Amino acid sequence: MGAAGRQHVPPTNPRRWYDPEASIAGISRSDRRPVEFVPRLRFRSRGRRRHPPRRRPRSRRVGAQCQVTLDTLQSCRYKRAMELDKATIQAETRKSGGAADLLPARIVVRLEALVRDVRTVLNDFTGARPAPYAVRKPLARHLLAFTTSPSPTSSAGITPRRLRVTRVVRETADAVSLSLTDPEGRRIAFVPGQFFTVLVTLASGEILRRAYSISSLPDEDGAAAEVTITIKRMPGGRASNHLNERVAEGDVLDVLGPSGSFTAAPDPAARRHLVLIAGGSGITPLASITRTTLAREPESRVSLVYGNRGEADIIFREALASLVETHADRFTLRHVLSEPPAGFTGRTGLLDHDNVTRELDVLAAASGLDAGATDYYVCGPEPMMIAAREALLARGVAPARIHEERFSAPARRTTPALPTSSAPIEIRLRGRTKTVTAAPGQTLLEAGLAASLPMPFSCTMGGCGVCKIKLLSGDVTSEEPNCLQEEEKNQGFVLACVSRAAAPCTVEVP
C-alpha cells in the first residue's frame, strides 16, 4: 500500500495524554487528537550506587531564596528613589498630562509593601516573630498618601485635583502665598476658613500630605476663579520649605479638598460680631473669614487680635492695614508682639491667658461683646489656643461659640489605654459594606486603608476633621482634645485617625 493509501492507526499504548493546544482551542474531549506517551528511559550507572549530597532543610532553602528576593526588591527601591529628581518628575508630569508624578513614588511604596510581605513569609519559615505593628505603621502611613477614590464628587475631597500656580507672593521672609487656578477654567468652590491638602512631591519622589488654609475670599456665588493658600516655613518642615523655595509660577500642584469645618459661611442678612484670635500662621484661615465677612455682611463686625514675634513676622500686614482704613467702623485690629520694635504702641508679650483677657476687656469696652451674637474663632500655636480657650470660658462664653483650628497635635492630649486584642470593624462607604479586623493599637483609619478602602484623611493627628466618620454601634476610644465640636461628638461622630475600636463596632463614612 502506498503512502497515499495509508490509514492512521491510533496508538495502542494506554498511557497517553491529549494535545493541550486542542484543549485550549475549545475542542470537545471526543475530538481531541491523541498523542502517544513516550516514557523517559532511566540508566543506572555501574558500580556502587552513590547517595545524593545532603541538602539543607526546605525551610532554609526557601528562606535563602526569599532573602535574595528581599535584597533585590530593596535594591530596586533605593535605586529608583535615587533616580528621581525634580527635573525628571516635572518632565514626566508634563509628558503624561499630570499622572506620572504619582507613578514613581507609587511603585516605590508598592515595592516596600512587597518587601514587607516577603519578610513576613520569611519569618514563617525561620520561626522569627514579626515586627510589632508600631514598627510597621510608618510604612503604612507612607502608603496611605496614594489612596484615592474614583468618585470626583465626594464632599470629603479624597480625589486629587490639579491646580496651576499663577502667582507667588512673598508675605514675609518665612511665608509665601500661592494663587491657584484650575487649568481647565473651572471655578473653585469653598467656604471661608477651609483648607486644601497639598500633595507635595519632594525631589526624592516621596509624596507628603500637608494641609494649608485658604486665605482669599470667594465670590458671591461661593466660588472663585482663583484661590490663594499661604504657607509659613517651619523649622525642619520638608513640605513647607519645599513650597517656600521651589514652587514657581506655572507649576502644577495636586490638592485634595477643600475641607474643614472651621468655617464662617457668609450671610448678607446677618448682624453678628466675630472675634478672631490668631497667632503666627494661624492668621491664614482667619484672613479669609475677615475679608469675606467684611465684603458680604454689611451689618456685621470683625475684631482681630493677632500675636507675632515682631513686625517683620506679621503675615498680611499691609492687607490688614488696608482693611482697617476701608472698614474703620466695622473692623478692629489689635497687634500683640513679643519682641516689639521701638515706638510700638500695642500690647507686648505672648498671647497668654493674661494678655488674651486684657484684649477681650478692651474689645468689650470699645464695642461690646454680646453673648448671643458673638462667635470666637481661635487659630495658632497650641499654648496660645489653650490660653485663649481658658480665658473665654472664664468670661462665661458658651463652648458652642468657641471655634478652634489646630495646625499641630495638642501638646496636652489624653491618650486612652490601647486595646489589647483585635476587633472586627464593619465599615460602610458609598453603599458598600466591608468588615475588617483592627489589630491592637491600630486606628480605624489605618484599618480601613489597610483593607484598600478609600477613606478620606489629611493630617492624621485629629486636627482637620477630614476623616470624620459616624459611629453607628459599638465602642471606640479617642485621643482628646481634637477638632470635633461637642455637638458633633453628641451626634456620634469620631475621628478615624485618632480613634481605636474598643469592641466590635460599625462605622459609616459620610
pLDDT tens string 258-282:
988 899 999 999 999 999 999 999 9
Q: Which residues of 114-135 are buried (b: 16+ CB within 10 A; e: fewer)?
A: ebbebbeebeebeeeeeeeeee
Residue spans of alpha helices (H) in 411-485: 444-450
State the DSSP string of 288-340: HHHHHHHHH-TT-EEEEEEEESSGGG-TTHHHHHHHHHHTTTTEEEEEEESSP
Give me the number of domains the chain comprises. 4
Structural domain that includes position 67: 58-130
> How high does pLDDT run on average in the chain?
78
Q: Are 471 and 395 found together in one domain?
A: no
pLDDT, position 95: 47
Amino acid at 398: A
Q: Are 281 and 396 found together in one domain?
A: yes
Peptide bond just before 510 cis, omega within 30 deg: no
Assigned C-alpha cell, 33 = 487528537
**Which CATH number characterizes residue 334's domain?**
3.40.50.80
Q: Are 389 and 482 found together in one domain?
A: no
Chosen domain end from 130, 150, 183 = 130
Asked if pLDDT for residue 41 goes beyond 80, the answer is no
- For residue 461, the number of C-alpha atoms closer than 13 Å in the C-beta half-sphere is 13
Of 164, 191, 142, whose CA–CA distance to 254 is shortest?
A: 164
Q: Which residue has the higher pLDDT, 372 or 300?
A: 300
Q: Are 280 and 399 found together in one domain?
A: yes
Cell numbers 472664664 label which residue?
A: 394
On whether residue 66 sits in a domain, the answer given is: yes
Neighbours of 43 (CB within 10 A): 4
> Which helix (DSSP H) or strand (DSSP E) does residue 58 occupy?
helix 58-83
Asked if pLDDT for residue 87 goes beyond 60, the answer is no
Q: Are 278 and 376 found together in one domain?
A: yes
Give CA torsion, residues 280, 286, 291, 295, to 10 deg.
Answer: -160
Contact 308, 335 (CB under 8 A): yes
What is the 8-class DSSP label of residue 211?
Answer: E
pLDDT, position 160: 85
> Which helix (DSSP H) or strand (DSSP E) does residue 403 occupy?
strand 402-405
On whether residue 15 sits in a domain, the answer given is: no
Predicted model pTM: 0.65
Contact 337, 310 (CB under 8 A): yes
Q: How far apart are CA 481 and CA 173, in angstroms?
A: 32
* Three-state SS at 496: helix
Q: Are 236 and 308 found together in one domain?
A: no
Contact 255, 161 (CB under 8 A): yes
Asked if pLDDT for residue 242 goes beyond 60, the answer is yes
For 482, counting Cβ atoms within 10 Å of its Cβ (0-12 exposed, 13-18 middle, 19+ buried), the class is buried
Asked if pLDDT for residue 172 goes beyond 60, the answer is yes
What is the 8-class DSSP label of residue 433?
Answer: E
**Which CATH number characterizes residue 439's domain?**
3.10.20.30
Q: Are 357 and 312 found together in one domain?
A: yes
Contact 197, 214 (CB under 8 A): no
What is the 8-class DSSP label of residue 375?
Answer: E
Contact 356, 383 (CB under 8 A): no
The whole-number average pLDDT for the span 425-435 is 91
pLDDT, position 128: 53
Q: Are 296 and 399 found together in one domain?
A: yes
Q: Are 396 and 428 found together in one domain?
A: no
pLDDT tens string 58-79:
555 555 555 555 455 444 444 4
